[in-house]
Structure 1
Amino acid sequence: MTKCNQINIYLYRAKHVHKHNSDLFKRFLLLKEAGLTDVQFQFGPYGKPFVHVPDVHFNISHSGQYLAGAVSTCSFIGIDIERIKQIDFDCIDFFMSEKEIAHFKEIQLLEEKLDYFYKIWTLKEAYSKMLGMGLHMKLTDISLDNQQIKSTFKDVFCHSKMIDSLYRLSLICSQENINIVRITEDIIIQELKHNQII
């Protein structure tokens, strides 16, 4: 179960990511972290799914073969995972602040530029998802500073890690400590069947 000082991030590597296993993954998260067995999903104005249960917040993301998700009973959360691939850096003006762009331009090695690009991108997408806005907010107004996002809302912890050297995973939440839990389809199915969810 989620504690207010630590949050579990679940990583599920699927053979194929589709709506069915995404739905099972969400139900698994809500069962494991909030004890919910009868879940009715609703959607916010920008498409963020939620449940009408007080103090239960969840978010998922997927890229390539990975689904990543987390649940908090303490605060809003946002998560993003992206597969690292070569990219045209011309788009940095659309999501990096002036300070971040200046730092980006100082980086010499392409590999380090790519890592910084994806770290900033995933943290900002996670933050906008935490707010329920997706990419409907002006990301250039948000700056990353000392592992916290400074904005007009509040300070929150920024967690960002490489996964299997191919993915960047970022989580924005009020918990300072994270724990990554890798799960399989068998674990999800077994847990949901045991609790008569499927």
Structure 2
Amino acid sequence: MVCATANFNVGIDIEKVSEIEAFKLAHEFFSADEFYDISNMNSDEQINYFYDLWTLKESYIKTIGKGLYIPLNSFSIKKSHEL
């Protein structure tokens, strides 16, 4: 996942997709809204959605220069299917 802003900052996060306890990790690291979304999915969808959000969130905080100083559950990302 790559995230860029108008100031040309770029944040990149790459993760190897593997079997994980997406539901448990989402509860710990994602916002309440994101956790609600993932809790309404089957386990295969949860894994894919988890990695999508995880890489988006890490790319974003790297783009704004905060690294992992911002907890991932302190902000939400809402995926749109319009892209």
Normalization by structure 1: what TM-score? 0.35
Q: Does structure 1 conserve the Cα–Cα contact (< 8 Å) formed by 2:30 and 2:73?
A: yes
The structure with more radius of gyration: 1
Within 5 A, what are the aligned runs for 1:29-68? none
Offset at residue 83 of structure 1 (A): 0.9
Which of 38, 48, 69 is residue 115 of structure 1 equivalent to?
48
Identity of aligned residues (%): 31
Bigger proportion of residues as strand: 1
**C-alpha separation in 2, matches of 1:115 and 1:143:** 17
1:75 and 2:8 aligned: yes
Q: How many residue pairs are counted as aligned between the two chains?
A: 80
Name structure 2 gaps, 5 residues minimum. Answer: none
- Aligned to 2:13, the other structure's residue is in SS state strand
1:93 and 2:21 aligned: no
C-alpha deviations, 1:59-112, integer Å up to 9, x for none? Answer: xxxxxxxxx88988842221111110011232213321111101101002x221
CA 70–129 in structure 1, closer or farther in 2 if over 3 Å, else same: closer
Normalization by structure 2: what TM-score? 0.76
Name structure 1 gaps, 5 residues minimum. Answer: 1-67, 148-158, 160-198
C-alpha deviations, 1:133-162, integer Å up to 9, x for none? Answer: 222212112111254xxxxxxxxxxx9xxx
Bigger proportion of residues as helix: 2
1:107 alignment partner AA: M
